[in-house]
Amino acid sequence: MEIKQLSEKYIKDVAAIEKACFSKPWNEISIAAELKNEFSRFYVAVESGKAVGFVGLYALTGEADIVRVGVLPQYRNRGIARAVLQKSLEDVQGDVFLDVRESNAAAIALYRSLGFYDTGVRKNYYSDPEENAVLMKRDAVEGGGAVADSGN
């Protein structure tokens, strides 16, 4: 598996991952627009020439927001999300924020293992189905980069 920055080559793959993972998936046009967004950093996990997972974040001055994380169902539980998250965090300077569905225990455990902690709950944030969002933060790491994970 290789971790690469998103390019036009992988837009259709990422759109397929979106459809498999989210009730309100981004389409190819929305994903392609991220290539032109100066604040956008999208990384893909590539296996056999195909993107099977991805992470999208917005890197702003002094902080970043993780906005999308997805892995095709048949590729889950192989460390793909962890690998792409670690790579995406390497280039981040400052604090990192994200929100996650309250019921997504696997993602919450992964984020905690990478140094994120809960900062609050946003009631009824998600729809289809309606659900609370857990708000999480990873404090800035001196010199940027990913924190050592606990292996969970």
**Model confidence at 45: pLDDT above 90:** yes
What is the rounded average pLDDT for all residues in the chain?
Answer: 92
Q: Indicate the helix (H) or strand (E) that contains 89.
A: helix 80-90
Long-range pairs of 28-33 with CB within 8 A, sequence gap ≥ 24: 31/6, 32/8
**Residue 99 and residue 122: Cα distance in Å, rounded?**
9
So what CATH class is 2-138?
alpha beta
Domain ranges in the chain are 2-138
Q: What is the pLDDT of residue 151?
A: 46
Handedness of CA 107, 135, 11, 22 (dihedral sign): positive
Residue 150 has a pLDDT of: 45
Three-state DSSP state, 3:
strand
**Span 78-89, average pLDDT:** 96
How far apart CA 141 and CA 90 sit, in angstroms, is 10
pLDDT at 149: 46
Residue 108 — pLDDT band, cuts 50, 70, 90? very high
Mean pLDDT (whole number) for 121-138: 95
User: What pLDDT shows up at residue 145?
Assistant: 53
Choice among 9-13, 25-29, 98-102, 139-143 with the minimum mean pLDDT? 139-143
